[in-house]
């Protein structure tokens, strides 16, 4: 004896699958399907209602997948030209603050540079004042200039060109001290300690005085002799061909504020 089964959705839509459940169930399925199809045929779409109610059952069955509606882009609020509110006003305020900070930093740097320059000038003035009142080097220069009838500026220029005021300077050739006296020359001049400031400047100024007297007061030849020796000046009749000597003479004259 066949066992009656309850109709499923598939049996309801397609009655042929309900045959196995028995004639009564199959007949019920066919009758229900016919009634459902008649209902679909008799249902006429109304233009006014379709716009409001959406798709009907028949339309949905014909096209079950709905098209995805195109999403509208989010509405972007218009940017206001006013600087009172809004993102642009914030950017403008930040730019103004950045500009102010930059100007403040530049102003502080300028003040520091000016302060450093004033300090440098003050230190230079103090150094010159100290030298004028009793610095060992300046004191020895003044004494030697008066003793050998030389310009103090000329002695300073020779010291600057020879050692740049380094009392312990020693050249590769063996010249020593502020005015770079060679050992034999220092011995002839009576300098026992070439690193002693007073002895070195006195000996160097005396040697420069000797060269001026030897070459008739010609400063260029005297300076060339101080650098290359009097024999070289006499050998080349005052025109020493050594580039080092020529540059030395020009450098001393420039330091002394004289024309080369």
Question: Mind listing the pLDDT tens digit for each residue in 76-98?
Answer: 545 444 444 454 555 567 777 77
Q: What is the pLDDT of residue 99?
A: 77
Check pLDDT > 90 for residue 71.
no
Q: Where is average pLDDT lowest: 34-38, 99-103, 230-234?
A: 34-38
Same domain, yes or no, for 128 and 145?
no
Residue 14 inside a domain? The answer is: yes
Rg of the Cα atoms in the chain: 56
Alpha-carbon dihedral angle through residues 141, 142, 147, 151, given to the nearest 10 degrees: 80
Residue 82 inside a domain? The answer is: no
pTM reported for the whole predicted model: 0.51
Q: Which two tokens stand for residue 191?
A: 């300098």
Q: Is 126 part of the annotated catalytic residue set? A: no
Q: Long-range contacts made by residues 80-88, C-beta under 8 angstroms, separation at least 24?
A: none
Pick the more confident residue, 75 or 195: 195
Q: Where is average pLDDT lowest: 132-136, 178-182, 253-257?
A: 132-136
Count how many domains the chain has. 3
Residue 92 inside a domain? The answer is: no
Same domain, yes or no, for 155 and 118?
no
- Considering the candidates 162, 168, 188, 244, report the single residue annotated as catalytic: 162
- Name the residue range of residue 128's domain: 99-133
Same domain, yes or no, for 142 and 205?
yes
| Beta carbons within 10 angstroms of residue 238's beta carbon | 14
Residue 90 inside a domain? The answer is: no
Residue 126 inside a domain? The answer is: yes
Q: Which residue has the tokens 């260029």?
A: 220
SS3 170: strand
Q: Identify the burial level of 38 via C-beta atoms within 10 angstroms of its C-beta, where 0-12 means exposed, 13-18 middle and 19 or more buried.
A: exposed
Residue 1 inside a domain? The answer is: no
């Amino acid at each position: 004896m066949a066992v009656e089964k309850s109709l499923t959705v598939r049996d309801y839509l397609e009655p042929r699958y309900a045959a196995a459940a028995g004639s009564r169930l199959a007949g019920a399925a066919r009758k229900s399907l016919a009634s459902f199809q008649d209902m679909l045929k008799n249902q006429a779409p109304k233009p006014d209602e379709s716009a409001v109610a959406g798709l009907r059952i028949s339309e949905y069955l014909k096209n079950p997948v709905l098209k995805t509606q195109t999403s509208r882009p989010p509405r972007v609020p218009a940017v206001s030209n006013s600087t009172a509110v809004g993102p642009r006003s914030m950017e403008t305020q930040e730019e103004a603050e950045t500009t102010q900070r930059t100007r403040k930093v530049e102003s502080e740097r300028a003040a520091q540079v000016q302060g450093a320059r004033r300090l440098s000038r003050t230190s230079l003035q103090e150094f010159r004042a100290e030298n004028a009142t009793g610095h060992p080097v300046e004191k020895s220069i003044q004494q030697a200039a008066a003793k050998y009838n030389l310009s103090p500026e000329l002695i300073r220029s020779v010291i600057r060109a020879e050692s740049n005021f380094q009392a312990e300077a020693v050249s590769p050739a063996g010249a020593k001290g502020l005015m770079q006296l060679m050992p034999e020359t220092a011995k002839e001049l009576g300098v026992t300690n070439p690193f002693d400031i007073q002895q070195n400047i006195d000996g160097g100024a005396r040697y420069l005085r000797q060269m001026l007297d030897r070459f008739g007061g010609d400063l260029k030849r005297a300076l060339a002799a101080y650098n290359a020796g009097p024999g070289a000046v006499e050998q080349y009749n005052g025109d020493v061909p050594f580039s080092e000597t020529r540059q030395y003479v020009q450098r001393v004259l420039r330091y002394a504020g004289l024309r080369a």
